[in-house]
Structure 1
């Protein structure tokens, strides 16, 4: 296998019962877009990246990690969905010494590989996950020092496995008033809010329960499952961890980075981070606008009622846990 210097795993797919890795030449382009796929899409507009591809096996990827371990993972960002996690990722990515992998498809494929490959063990998933993150976290700029993973919302259901893969790494779980989150998905429903992406048993549901269940009820129960997983993980934490309410971000985001993730800020960093805080995290060409009241106004009565029924109790339990002010271990 070639050294693949400057290449990153772009996609992992199943082929005849095994996983194959498609690579993209990223060169010196950094992961600064709100989402991993956006960076890849921009890169694939370049003729070289479009014309020249590499494909390897997962075994090759694992072997490469032994030869070329990537930069260390210094933080994990879990979230309820639509609650400010992209802002945290953008703040971290604004600092040139960080590699930020924001909802990277290859990470998701490995985490959910056991759904497609019967008999796959957790130990294999941990090994593959470390190998994927190592390949994505190769130093391609002299000042890069650390990797941060901003996970997909459903990955909080795999929090114990991620902690096993990256022991001792600090993490946060972000959440928001469930009525506001439901309002956001009412406007543009995420794939995980539709039956099919997640096994029902991961949500505490039997497969027969999904038949005839209204989409809003399913979505509310999904969000409740995420929050409960975050709460349980926090109570059982074996590494520094923080529960973070969406309302804290504008005023407390920078202290979070320094206190939880140990990000040491230099003279130029403050201006970079304040610039991010003033912009829309998902569409940085737009200014930041607080949409709390708008979401509360436009949510449907049914979505509000279901959010209160299924999500409010666990949201309030998260708030109570956060307000206890327990110091992380």
Structure 2
């Protein structure tokens, strides 16, 4: 692979084949990643005639080789979250900024974080993957921000080992509102067995969907709390958004006044459905919650949620 040239290419899949880990790449040229999730950007790019005709696959070691050959931006911030709580709004606001690269929940990162890979090889691949995402494909990019999947809060210690100086954020919300959202349309981590083993597992039997979602959510909030305490994370409640982008998040992301104005302009639309206007739905979700769901959410999430609020207010 001497003289490896991956300019304009981004990793879209990491998988194991015949005992060897490999990387699937897709050509993005200089296209900006403005979609709510990295997977959306990949789907759009794969429709290009070029990508239908040409594909690149490499060994996992190519990530490290490409990093050494052409280092990308170091991550400026990591966004962790409790799901359905405003993290996509934050990433979409930042994605509007010309000098920012925002990678939202890229599947290859989750695979490297949780796959069965030797530690040294995993760390090297993680640094190489992030470097690939941090390539200046357009020119003005200065900052790389990565939003992870909700369950990746369990892998924070590994990411801190690789990116010790990178500040990180944990976004959460009234847990009853999160739970109602997952009852309406469950996320992957709220479907038994969908994501495999994760920090959200408690090994206990569950009595129904309300019980399962409430318990998983409790584990998620508890882990976020513990990680904030252990690794100096910044806790942010959904109810601070979007105004926080011109307040304490401006300092966290190192945004100037122009950045803040551009970012806040994006807050008028729905983060996951950009063609729709944003409408606050917290009250509707709380009203929709059944007595059973309220009982389960109170039992499993009250303590970590209250502790997160105390931590946030203390900061």
TM-score range, shorter chain: over 0.9
Q: In the alignment, what sits opposite 1:47?
A: 49
| Equivalent pair of 2:214/2:296 in contact (CA under 8 Å) | yes
1:245 maps onto 2:209 in alignment: no
| Equivalent pair of 1:183/1:300 in contact (CA under 8 Å) | no
> How is 1:172-321 mapped onto 2 (pairs within 5 angstroms)?
172-198=169-195, 202-203=199-200, 205-206=202-203, 209-210=204-205, 213-237=207-231, 241-266=233-258, 269-321=259-311
- Which contiguous aligned blocks of 4+ residues in structure 1 show a shift greater than 6 angstroms? none
Q: In the alignment, what sits opposite 1:81?
A: 83
The Cα shift of 1:16 comes to: 1.3
For residues 43-72 of structure 1, the C-alpha deviation after alignment (integer angstroms, 9 at most, x for no partner) is 111101111100001012222111111112
The Cα shift of 1:148 comes to: 0.4
For 1:138, what is the secondary structure of its paired residue?
Answer: coil
Q: In the alignment, what sits opposite 2:65?
A: 63
Count of aligned residue pairs for this structure pair:
313
Mapped partners of 2:212, 2:54: distance in 1: 43
Cα gap change, 1:160 to 1:289, in 2 (>3 Å): same
For residues 75-102 of structure 1, the C-alpha deviation after alignment (integer angstroms, 9 at most, x for no partner) is 0000001000000101111101011000
The Cα shift of 1:198 comes to: 4.9
The Cα shift of 1:301 comes to: 2.3
Mapped partners of 2:234, 2:105: distance in 1: 20
Between stretches 74-83 and 313-322, larger displacement belongs to: 313-322
Q: How well do the aligned residues superpose, as a CA RMSD in angstroms?
A: 1.6
The Cα shift of 1:235 comes to: 1.1
Mapped partners of 2:153, 2:225: distance in 1: 10
Q: In the alignment, what sits opposite 2:136?
A: 139
For 2:33, what is the secondary structure of its paired residue?
Answer: coil
Mapped partners of 2:250, 2:243: distance in 1: 14
Cα gap change, 1:142 to 1:281, in 2 (>3 Å): same
Structure 1: 5+ residue runs without aligned partners? Answer: 115-119
| Equivalent pair of 1:227/1:315 in contact (CA under 8 Å) | yes
Between stretches 101-110 and 297-306, larger displacement belongs to: 297-306
